Structure 1
């Protein structure tokens, strides 16, 4: 298997499935799952990402790819981000406070979806899908979008999980409400791109570094915080522009080293 775009290629998780830059930009073809890092043949130009690949689960695979840097002409990280479990023992989650791993220094270009780090901000490339250009009628005040393995026991609201690969169904659902309550990274991200107000009940560190921050609160406190949630009308354009510029830099690098 020759790999050009390596990511968590998981069709049972809609966010993982739609975070590959090769789906939206003219890049060398060749999708591969990062979990297969030991047996992959690297293409001349390799893009790693997107997704929450800065995590203990993926460290061995990312380190392996960094160690194989000499096998490719270019090695780029695109829209990756942290994704660690957080400590809820004290009744509230704590954000990840570590620096990003040193293996990123082996990459020619690094773009991370987390805002405010030492690396360039390049949000999840799924923003490039033209599905976000449509208008979605609001027919309910609140909906709940939950991680398939972490249910959110919040009232009798319309709800959906991140299981499967149907981005259209998810975006239509998120667009149907004025306010989205979620514990899913991509649920918060996509709802923001749609101009919806977002409340996050955090289960992992990745929700703390959005460029367009949602309200973050404990499960039992969401009613107190929901009115603080705001929309970000410019979010879609800002996220797309960051990805377009990064693509230009990636394309220039690949052309120079071809």
Structure 2
């Protein structure tokens, strides 16, 4: 890819270095784009937007972020490209896990203004492209299982389960996070990336839902109330093909992103 193509891209995501999932979800960590040119969605500034924009990953289809993305779609520049990569729905559900929130009808209309759409949620009208963090080299290593069960919880939503090793998604230490998840035969979690990464590590996953995003995996964890996690463990399975399926989807999407951007550059040159 040419230097011009690299330098023209803008990456928009939730650039939160205090949340390891958010911090490691954006595609330019894993694919050869210009990494220094990114914008936190909370710092959305239309005067700084480049002509080519990649949005994602993360749970950006949410009441908090939809106004930003709707505005972004309206600002799409002539000859520019707008790409959603590995974004997904993130709406509240009842804490006890008794309700699955379906999409109201379809995904937001602003996605129709995007040139390429890859959604990490499975079974939507759009192409399935899971979080690009599946490209982390950590998943290529073998890890010894040293614990039966661990708790991996969202830093703002602690799980009411005592007596087990635990870690939260706070901070940005990906090495220790992956080692912790890999140390257990079963991971009990209410974190999206906790469930996702444990699945890619071929660990069993019990999920205590607090957001709709936890119902949207292609490789489904067992979902239950916090009080039922022990019984739920008997229903867990592993997904040996999950890592390669996720990586293949991301590699193919990257190829299509490059093809699109090459076409857009030619279009601008001829106009």
- Fold conserved (TM > 0.5)? yes
Offset at residue 44 of structure 1 (A) = 2.5
Offset at residue 45 of structure 1 (A) = 1.6
Aligned to 1:69, which of 44, 64, 76?
76
Matched, 1:92 2:98: yes
Aligned to 1:168: 175
Offset at residue 20 of structure 1 (A) = 0.6
Aligned to 2:12, which of 6, 25, 34?
6
Contact residue 86 and residue 96 of structure 1 kept, 8 A: no
Offset at residue 28 of structure 1 (A) = 3.6
Other structure's SS at 2:85 match: strand
Q: Distance in 2 between matches of 1:42 and 1:153?
A: 43
Q: What are the superposed Cα offsets for residues 142-176 of structure 1, whole Å, 9 maximum, x if unpaired?
A: 00000001111213111000001111111000000
> Aligned ranges for residues 38-117 of structure 1 at < 5 Å?
38-70=45-77, 73-88=80-95, 92-98=98-104, 99-117=106-124
Structure 1, gaps ≥5 residues long: none
Q: What are the superposed Cα offsets for residues 192-243 of structure 1, whole Å, 9 maximum, x if unpaired?
A: 0000000000000001110100000011111121110100011000000000
Q: Distance in 1 between matches of 2:101 and 2:144?
A: 34
Does 44-53 or 32-41 show the bigger shift?
32-41
Number of equivalenced pairs: 256
Other structure's SS at 1:241 match: helix
Q: Distance in 2 between matches of 1:166 and 1:227?
A: 31
Other structure's SS at 1:105 match: helix
Offset at residue 97 of structure 1 (A) = 3.1
- Deviation >3 Å, runs of 4+: none
Structure 2, gaps ≥5 residues long: 1-7, 266-271
Aligned to 1:121: 128
Offset at residue 96 of structure 1 (A) = 3.4
Aligned to 2:156, which of 142, 145, 149?
149
Contact residue 200 and residue 216 of structure 1 kept, 8 A: yes
Does 39-48 or 213-222 show the bigger shift?
39-48
Aligned to 1:20: 26
Q: Distance in 2 between matches of 1:249 and 1:97?
A: 27
Aligned to 1:179: 186
Q: Distance in 2 between matches of 1:64 and 1:176?
A: 43
Offset at residue 40 of structure 1 (A) = 4.7
Other structure's SS at 1:43 match: coil
Other structure's SS at 1:188 match: helix
Offset at residue 87 of structure 1 (A) = 3.0
Bigger Rg over Cα: 2
Q: Distance in 2 between matches of 1:85 and 1:154?
A: 21
Aligned to 2:43, which of 15, 36, 41?
36
Contact residue 9 and residue 34 of structure 2 kept, 8 A: no
Offset at residue 61 of structure 1 (A) = 0.6
Q: What are the superposed Cα offsets for residues 80-106 of structure 1, whole Å, 9 maximum, x if unpaired?
A: 000011134x87233333221000001
Aligned to 1:247: 254
